[in-house]
Amino acid sequence: MRRHIAIALGVICLASLAAPIRSHGQTAAAGCDGIQIALSVGGAACIKPGSGQSFSDCPECPKLVVVPAGEFMMGAPDTEKDRLKGESPQRKVTIASPFAVGKFEVTFAEWEACVAGGGCTQNKSPNDRGWGKGTRPAIQISWNDAKQYAEWLSKKTGKTYRLLTEAEWEYAARAGTTTAYAWGDEVGENNANCRGCKSQWEGNQTAPAGSFKPNAFGLHDMHGNVSEWVEDCHGDYANAPSDGSAAPVTQGCTRVLRGGAWSINPKLMRAAVRLREVPDFRTIIIGFRVARSLSPAAK
């Protein structure tokens, strides 16, 4: 790889997790022990953030889980094995409001729905390398492509879909933990899809969505499978935002990739690892997942 790459429909109720803080502008509807989310197909989901049950705005839309508000230390501590320079200094980041996140990385089936619906015109048929499409994560997706998908989904549903910010991504990946991976400091066996993760896909190809256990927020493949585009321009952490927002845009910036991938070794799959690429770059290890804004009030 190039130099930067190297270095549910209806009403459901969920349970809360991990260092929650009071969220801004979020109120529970009568009889709902959580927040009320209107669905584009009609009806509503009563969501108590953090338990991992999913909802969806339409049959072909991504399944989403609600991540609770909270705070965490972003970046790797000096003591973390394999820590890289760009992962520090650590800083406290506050996520003031719950937000929804794709339970899985965006799949080929979801990408093809976008194309069939008149969106995703920049990349109508990304190559699956013969591994199969369907529920496998869409690959050969650029940052620009991912943004176009989010725009199409927003227009289709009337809801605000977008890429996660870098801080949101790491908060969601950690899911209340402080270890290198959501399951601990060692990669272990069959926890993810990477080169050295000891799964049946072992550095050969992507795995279908949901092949591995989710983290405590109910999110699958935050570590491994495909690297995920986030909204941010790449920059150092010295003056980075502490409110979960994206880093300021700079002209010609590279965009951040998170989570490692099926062909990448475990040390580059840690929660704090930051890769980067130009926004029009496509390759077989890159995909994405979406977020859906719920603040200042769930809607």
Residue ranges per structural domain of the chain: 1-7+74-97+106-299
Q: What is the pLDDT along the chain (299 residues), one digit of tens a residue?
A: 444 443 322 222 222 223 333 333 344 456 788 888 988 888 888 888 998 889 999 999 999 999 999 999 999 999 999 999 999 999 999 999 999 999 999 999 999 999 999 999 999 999 999 999 999 999 999 999 999 999 999 999 999 999 999 999 999 999 999 999 999 999 999 999 999 999 999 899 999 999 999 999 999 999 999 999 999 999 999 889 999 999 999 999 999 999 999 999 999 999 999 999 999 999 999 999 999 999 554 54
Residues in the chain: 299
> Considering the entire predicted model, what is its pTM?
0.90
Closest CA to 197 of 216, 175, 221: 221
Quote the CATH superfamily of domain 1-7+74-97+106-299. paralog of FGE (formylglycine-generating enzyme) (3.90.1580.10)
Task: Write out the E strands in 18-126.
Answer: 35-38, 44-47, 64-67, 70-74, 91-95, 99-102
Rounded CA-CA distance 22/260 in Å is 32
Helix axes 108-116, 143-157, angle to 10 degrees: 60
Burial of 138 (0-12, 13-18, 19+ CB in 10 A): buried
SS3 assignment, position 87: helix
Separation in Å, CA 7 to CA 51, 124, 277: 34, 30, 11
